[in-house]
């Protein structure tokens, strides 16, 4: 009997001490005004939802958490199907589908279709940006048809 009681207390203690707790769900959430005339598209799904991303959140307000999730995706404007989490009892994190206008998306001065160049060992490689992956990297199709991921700081535009 003592073992059953001890096991039950231990199980309750372990499950109640989680560092990430879902505190709400919303259909749509945004910090900016949404223009109903624009055609918004899904840019990324389940953004901000990995355990690593949730634990990394240091947002103290819901507004900051929205900005962290939306701004890390190039062209992001709003979140749909969002879940709001409380992390470590004091930080807020948000997971959701990022929506935006993908046709004129630009990040750090780069946009889809830009011709770029970067240095590789003793020479230069050229390519065309095919996707703005996140706030740090993009996917580039090289002249020989391969797709590579490069940091924005490592590439330069060409004419």
Are residues 42 and 95 both part of a single domain?
A: yes
Out of 58, 83, 100, a domain closes at 100
Q: Is residue 2 part of a domain?
A: no
Are residues 94 and 121 both part of a single domain?
A: no
Domain span holding position 47: 18-100
Overall average pLDDT of the 112-138 stretch:
85
Are residues 57 and 131 both part of a single domain?
A: no
Contacts of 99 (CB under 8 A, 6+ apart): 40, 41, 42, 43, 76, 77, 78, 79, 80
Q: What is the pLDDT of residue 73?
A: 79
Q: What is the pLDDT of residue 107?
A: 67
Instruction: Report the number of distinct structural domains present in the chain.
Output: 2
Q: Is residue 146 part of a domain?
A: yes
Give residue 76's pLDDT band: very low, low, confident or very high (50, 70, 90): confident
For residue 94, the cross-strand partners are 84
Single pTM value for the model: 0.60
- Residue 158 pLDDT > 90: no
Are residues 24 and 89 both part of a single domain?
A: yes
Q: Range with the lowest mean pLDDT among 38-42, 57-61, 85-89?
A: 38-42
């Amino acid at each position: 009997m003592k073992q059953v009681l001890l096991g039950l207390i231990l199980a309750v203690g372990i499950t109640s001490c989680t560092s990430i707790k879902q505190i709400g769900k919303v259909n749509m959430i945004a910090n900016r005004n949404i223009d109903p005339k624009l055609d918004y598209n899904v840019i990324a799904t389940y953004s901000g939802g990995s355990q690593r991303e949730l634990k990394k959140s240091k947002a103290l307000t819901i507004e900051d958490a929205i900005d962290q999730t939306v701004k890390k995706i190039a062209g992001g404007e709003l979140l749909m199907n969002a879940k709001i989490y409380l992390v470590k009892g004091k930080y807020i994190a948000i997971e959701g589908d990022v929506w935006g206008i993908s046709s004129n998306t630009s990040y750090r001065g780069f946009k889809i279709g830009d011709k770029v160049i970067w240095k590789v060992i003793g020479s230069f490689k050229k390519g065309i940006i095919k996707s703005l992956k996140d706030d740090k990297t993009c996917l580039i199709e090289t002249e020989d048809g391969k797709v590579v991921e490069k940091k924005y700081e490592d590439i330069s535009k060409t004419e």
